[in-house]
């Protein structure tokens, strides 16, 4: 099984091992403090995942700074790029791409490098921060800082199905002998459920899935086989999802029993008493880090830096996670997690399973183009 890569291993992607104490001393060095423009109502325009700015955080930010957050929501990374392209980098001050997408942004000219002297970088996990320095420096400095991390794994209706131990990515393709899992029982996002299938087959020794990132020829060889298999199992499919809300609706109103999902939507449903569960797979969940980037056309730059540093406080990092159910990159946030959040983590990642996460690899443009072709074949079959 492919283990967590060196960068995220150095970061020790675990609440239990997040570094402590640096944020408080470093925060005092960041300045100058924000001074609102007396002649205009201050705003910051943010293109961000739907759950990432809870109402309580938006309200506290305005109460403390006077700045209004205009939040445009997105469902996936393609949405971020499409909306940023549409305005040529104008219209948004900040956006929130995922760590492995750096190569897709490198030649677009839509982001500007951060002035790191204006960001309390000591407040966030250093291993995750190094992803920006390594993968998001397009010539003038890093264009990306980490905010939240999470995983994609298997979720299910607890009143209709129970996995045997840890679930498997294979549970949406070849469920074992359960009458509840018949046609139209599962959901997923096209390319990521195909990726999960590849990880499952890799773990069984049926294909060298990770070699598909090596070059175009190998990618075609692996994904030809993978796509044919996924199409052969399409009768299992209830729906494709895009974004958080469709995942929730799958379990509440669409008849889905098992799905490959993000951790946040499902753990928040579980906290609200819905009969659902989410857990890392036996093969190791897919891991990602969502960050913050600044548009080349940003107009509210002071306000943008103010929001970044506000988000990088342990209190706001913890409040965000306690509300939406993901995981914070902010040092010290884990000390302020609710007991419910801590219990959720213990259930989702039992034992030493955090050491077996599969980080999404960096995705070159040739890989993204080919993967879109194969995902479209699966979707339209």
3-state secondary structure of 295: strand
**Domain-located, residue 61:** yes
Let me know whether 201 and 252 are in one domain. yes
Let me know whether 376 and 232 are in one domain. yes
Instruction: Provide the pLDDT for residue 31.
Output: 47
Quick check: 295 and 92 in contact, CB under 8 A? Answer: yes
Q: pTM here?
A: 0.82
Q: Which CATH number covers residue 158? A: 3.40.190.10
d(CA 192, CA 181): 21
Q: Which residue range(s) make up the domain with 252?
A: 151-286+358-380
Let me know whether 169 and 293 are in one domain. no
Let me know whether 125 and 155 are in one domain. no
Let me know whether 249 and 304 are in one domain. no
- Count CB-CB contacts under 10 A for residue 364: 17
Let me know whether 116 and 175 are in one domain. no
Let me know whether 32 and 48 are in one domain. yes
**Domain-located, residue 2:** no
Let me know whether 128 and 198 are in one domain. no
Q: How far is CA 223 from the centre of its chain?
A: 23
Quick check: 333 and 261 in contact, CB under 8 A? Answer: no
Let me know whether 233 and 375 are in one domain. yes
Domain count along the chain: 2
For the chain, helix, strand, coil in percent to 5 are 45, 15, 35
What is the DSSP-derived secondary structure letter of residue 141?
S
Which of these, 295, 320, 312, lies nearest to 129 by C-alpha position?
A: 312
Instruction: Provide the pLDDT for residue 175.
Output: 82
The enclosing H or E element of 187 equals strand 186-188
Let me know whether 279 and 328 are in one domain. no
Instruction: Provide the pLDDT for residue 183.
Output: 86
Let me know whether 11 and 65 are in one domain. yes
**Domain-located, residue 201:** yes
**Domain-located, residue 321:** yes
**Domain-located, residue 232:** yes
Instruction: Provide the pLDDT for residue 10.
Output: 39
Query: What angle is formed at CA 287 by the lines to CA 96 and CA 101, rounded to 5 degrees?
Result: 40
Q: Which portions of the chain are predicted below pLDDT 50?
A: 1-32
3-state secondary structure of 328: strand
Let me know whether 54 and 173 are in one domain. no
d(CA 136, CA 3): 23
**Domain-located, residue 220:** yes
């Amino acid at each position: 099984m492919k283990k967590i890569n060196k960068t995220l291993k150095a970061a020790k992607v675990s609440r239990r091992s997040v570094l402590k104490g640096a944020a408080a001393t470093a925060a005092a060095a960041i300045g100058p403090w924000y001074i609102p423009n007396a002649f205009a109502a201050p705003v910051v325009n943010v293109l961000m995942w739907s759950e990432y700015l809870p109402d309580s955080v938006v309200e506290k930010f305005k109460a403390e700074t006077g700045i209004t957050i205009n939040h445009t929501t997105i469902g996936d990374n393609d949405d971020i790029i499409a909306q940023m392209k549409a305005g040529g980098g104008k219209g948004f001050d900040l956006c929130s791409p995922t760590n492995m997408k750096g190569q897709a942004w490198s030649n677009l000219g839509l982001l500007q490098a951060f002035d790191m002297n204006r960001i309390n970088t000591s407040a966030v996990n250093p291993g995750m921060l190094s992803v920006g320095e390594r993968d998001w420096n397009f010539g003038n400095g890093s264009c990306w800082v980490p905010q939240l991390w999470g995983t994609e794994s298997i979720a299910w209706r607890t009143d209709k199905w129970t996995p045997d131990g840890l679930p498997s990515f294979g549970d949406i393709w070849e469920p074992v002998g359960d009458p509840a899992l018949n046609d139209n029982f599962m959901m997923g996002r096209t390319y990521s459920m195909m990726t999960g299938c590849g990880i499952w087959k890799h773990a069984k020794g049926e294909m060298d899935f990770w070699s598909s990132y090596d070059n175009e020829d190998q990618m075609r060889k692996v994904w030809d086989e993978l796509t044919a298999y996924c199409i052969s199992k399409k009768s299992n499919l209830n729906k494709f999802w895009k974004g958080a809300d469709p995942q929730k609706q799958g379990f509440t109103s669409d008849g889905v029993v098992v799905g490959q999902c993000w951790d946040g939507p499902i753990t928040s449903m579980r906290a609200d008493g819905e009969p659902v569960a989410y857990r890392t797979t036996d093969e190791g969940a897919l891991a990602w880090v969502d960050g913050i980037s600044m548009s080349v056309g940003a107009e509210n730059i002071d306000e943008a830096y103010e929001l970044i540093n506000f988000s990088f406080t342990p209190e706001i990092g913890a409040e965000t996670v306690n509300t939406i159910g993901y995981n914070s990159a902010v040092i010290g946030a884990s000390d302020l997690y609710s007991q419910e959040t801590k219990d959720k983590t213990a259930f989702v990642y039992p034992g030493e399973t955090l050491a077996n996460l599969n980080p999404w690899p960096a995705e070159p443009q040739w890989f993204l183009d080919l993967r879109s072709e194969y995902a479209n074949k699966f979707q339209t079959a």
